[in-house]
Structure 1
Amino acid sequence: MCVNGADDEIVRVAARGDGVTGDGRHVPFAAPGDRLRDDGTVAPGPRRRTPPCRHFGTCGGCQLQHLDDDAWAGFITDRIAGALRQHGLETEIRTPLLSPPETRRRATFHAERRGRQVHLGFTEANSHRLVDVQECSVLHPELFRLLNPLRGLLSALLPGSRRANVHVTLADQGRDVLIDGLEAEGLAAAEALSGFARRHGLARLSLDEGLGPTPRWEPDPVTITLAGVPVPLPAGSFLQATAEGQAALVDAAREVAGDAAAVADLFAGLGTFTFAFPRAKVYAAEAARDAILSLKAAAGAAQRPVYADHRDLYRRPLTVADLDHFDAVILDPPRAGAREQAEELAICRVPSVAYISCNPSTFARDAEILCKGGYRLDWIQPVGQFRWSTHVELAAKFRR
């Protein structure tokens, strides 16, 4: 029985995934509409669902499998609205676009030996303890099918005192695997690696023994196609988590930029947004050397009018004089945001800015800078491509 009425109802989900009652109590794994009973247990409400994965609650990879899609979308919207309120901002927040289950095309697993076996999976929440993953409702099935074979490979190569990281990605040519923290010296190890890659049809198998990734198997150059342009894919490089999430972000950026003739793509990476504007002249700036070289090579091969600049935008943001040459700017910084670049944008004359963010807090900070400089925040399109995670992404339109 509940004696406190509305105070016992879960009214929202906090940033780290706990449900919050009307009187402010935090309840792990509670959904909006649940009720907290007098004995501390939870009475399920209409927004609760049965988690699809046996590891939920232990594995730190997902925090929100107990929410239905409406509740998860509400969590995403609330996170963004709350961050905006802290900076005195509000705008239209569109319905979140959610990636389906089993669509993640990249992930990083941890591996460690336990006796004769190798455990491979994610760590527990707030812990270094490893969960040996036997199923995953998030990862693309093509990647998940590699886990058991990888356990077999690592059982022959991984020493007992070391933990390795295994990065898996779906590229144009198939599955790309990078293992770091593993040393594989000698003919037997080399044959084991190449034999494994051949048997399982890998696009590439690379090792990073401390000096950067080195391909041990790559029959054909590995690429990822972005807006119809095949781009060389460096081992371990950043890629949007799902094809659906990438498409949603690109569509939003196109909506902001419209028919802009000159576009600046800042924090460009491999060119997710660079190649989305085939009729525009695009300036692409990126600090990661391998990524910008891949972008430049792809642009040259596709004969696109792209100027690729190896540039650290934290140390050397584009100045007002630089920015005023563009009709639109695409800004896609890491989680730290782009305070230095936002300060320059705030005093320039660029008509439209598309801001792509993976952190509502730093986005809202930078949005305040832009709005104080004369921009208007027209709308925000949330994107949920990290299925059942508290990780929130968005695209936003600013205009003069």
Structure 2
Amino acid sequence: MSPILRVAARGDGVAADGRHAAFAAPGDQLTDDGQVVPGPHHQDAPCRHFPECGGCQLQHLDDTAFSAFCIDRVASALDAQGLSAPIRPALLSPPRTRRRATLHAERGLIGFAAEGSHQIVDLRECHVLLPELFALVAPLRALFQKLGLKRRADVHLALADQGPDVLVTGWAPTGLAAAEALTAFCERHGIARFSVDDGLGAEARWEPQPVTIALGGVPVALPAGAFLQATQDGEDALVTAVREAVYGATTVADLFAGLGTFALSLPAKVYAAEGARDALFALKAAANMRGRPVFPEHRDLYRRPLTVTELDRFDAVVLDPPRAGARDQAAALAACSVGSIAYVSCNPSSFARDAKGMVQAGWRIDWIQPVGQFRWSTHVELAARFIR
């Protein structure tokens, strides 16, 4: 037998002899014929849908092993670029705290897609979604059946300040009976907003009061389907790390600012660049309403990244790009002279690629904070501080 030493990026256990085994945890033993003998960090999956459901890949890991996986994902990505850095213990979001998720619905089914497949796993329980969101799964199933949903649609769920926010894309019911059914559903289940988008843009069919999300203590208008950090715990962890990384700065550039998760949480004058107009306008209105010193600009940072001259006007920079990273913007950051940079990433691989250029230009990774807010998923986020 060969011991399982770690869990690879896609969730397979890696044995000392190099073999990979599905659903193996560090400390398990892999027999010569490929059987996994559970060890001290191998737990029974709490959900009946595991491992079929693609919402989770790592429910067989206990918290110690899951935390080690998050750290190893970051370390492996750095190592692939010839880098190393101090990595802090991972901060894990508890079960049943996901406040944002996309489910799929079709012909009486609603749930996550099966692992490696487009087949829908009809959810009967879920150990990652907030109870307030999971409580809508069965009623939504019944609603879609009543309205005759046959083609596949995506159901985007989020928990706003006013309650659950629902956006259905790829399908829109028509007719008076459908409108009455939607209204009755929303009234019965305390829905904050119900929107549909059949390809022409989101249309709110129910929104008794404007829907907001509190960021940095400021209520911000929440566009339908807008990006939110997956859990409140995860958002708090990332905001705390960013505030530490740029501590003392009086002028900060927040790049890929979104709705203002970081811009509204910093005790500084903040220039906020964002390419999505709806998010930018929501941030601008919220900052103006509360008198916050946040100055948003509509700017596509992939087409027009901030130049070195522009960056040098700030004491610090916050960078929170999509999964692809920010290769061109990172190149300008590498050449600028700001005091510190907080890099928030949802992809350790693209982060490490961008970090390599910055390190080669004389920056140092002061620390990295892994954040596991996608519970039992191979998806790992992080915040890092760069200094000269």
**Which bracket does the TM-score occupy, shorter chain normalised?**
over 0.9
Percent of residue pairs identical: 65
Deviation for aligned residue 1:83: 0.8
Q: Distance in 1 between matches of 2:147 and 2:348?
A: 41
Residues 111-190 of structure 1 aligned to structure 2 (within 5 Å): 111-113=105-107, 118-160=108-150, 162-190=151-179
In structure 2, C-alpha distance between the alignment counterparts of 1:36 and 1:158, rounded to whole Å: 49
The 5 Å alignment of 1:199-218 reads 199-218=188-207
The alignment partner of 1:341 has SS state of helix
Structure 1 runs of 4+ aligned residues shifted over 3 Å read none
C-alpha distance in structure 1 between counterparts of 2:358 and 2:242, whole Å:
17
- Letter in structure 2 aligned against 1:362: S
Contact 1:323 1:345 in 2 (8 A): yes
Q: Aligned equivalents of 2:133 and 2:361: distance in 1?
A: 45
Superposition deviation, residue 329 in structure 1: 0.3
Q: Work out the CA distance in 2 between the residues paired with 1:159 and 1:72.
A: 38
Aligned counterpart, 1:326: 314
Aligned to 2:92: 98
Shift of 1:331: 0.2
- Report how far residue 306 of structure 1 moved: 1.2
Amino acid at match of 2:190: G
Say if 1:112 and 1:158, in contact at 8 Å, map to a contact too: no
Report whether the alignment pairs 1:270 with 2:259: yes
> Which TM-score applies when normalising by structure 1?
0.96
Q: Give distance in 2, aligned partners of 1:372 and 1:199.
A: 58
Q: Which amino acid aligns with 1:171?
A: A
The CA distance in 2 between the partners of 1:398 and 1:228, in whole Å, is: 27
AA at the equivalent of 2:71? T
- Cα distance in structure 2, aligned partners of 1:42 and 1:347: 50
Normalising by structure 2, report the TM-score: 0.99
Alignment-derived partner of residue 385 in structure 1: 373
Task: Tell me if 1:289 matches 2:277.
Answer: yes
Residues 324-354 of structure 1 show CA distances to partners (whole Å, capped at 9, x for unaligned) of: 0100100000000010100001111111000
Q: How does 1:67-82 map to 2 (within 5 A)?
A: 67-82=61-76
| 1:367 alignment partner in structure 2 | 355
The alignment partner of 2:101 has SS state of strand
Q: Distance in 2 between matches of 1:274 and 1:394?
A: 18
Listed one character per residue, the Cα deviations across residues 346-389 of structure 1 (whole Å, up to 9, x for unaligned) are: 11111100000000100001001111111111100000000000
2:224 is the counterpart of 1:235: yes
One-letter identity of the residue aligned with 1:187: L
Aligned residues of 1:158 and 1:182 also touching (Cα < 8 A): no
Aligned residue for 1:345, secondary structure, equals helix
How many residues are treated as equivalent by the alignment? 388
Give unmatched runs, 5+ long, in structure 2: none
Whole-Å Cα distance in 2 between the matches of residues 54 and 253 of structure 1? 37
Corresponding residue SS for 2:121: strand
Deviation at 1:259, TM superposition (A): 1.9
Matched to 1:340, the amino acid is D
Report how far residue 289 of structure 1 moved.
1.0
Tell me, what secondary structure is at the counterpart of 1:346? Answer: helix
| Residue 352, structure 1, aligned to residue 340, structure 2 | yes
CA distance in 2: counterparts of 1:158 and 1:352, whole angstroms: 55
Report the Cα offset of residue 209 of structure 1. 1.4
Amino acid at match of 1:258: Y
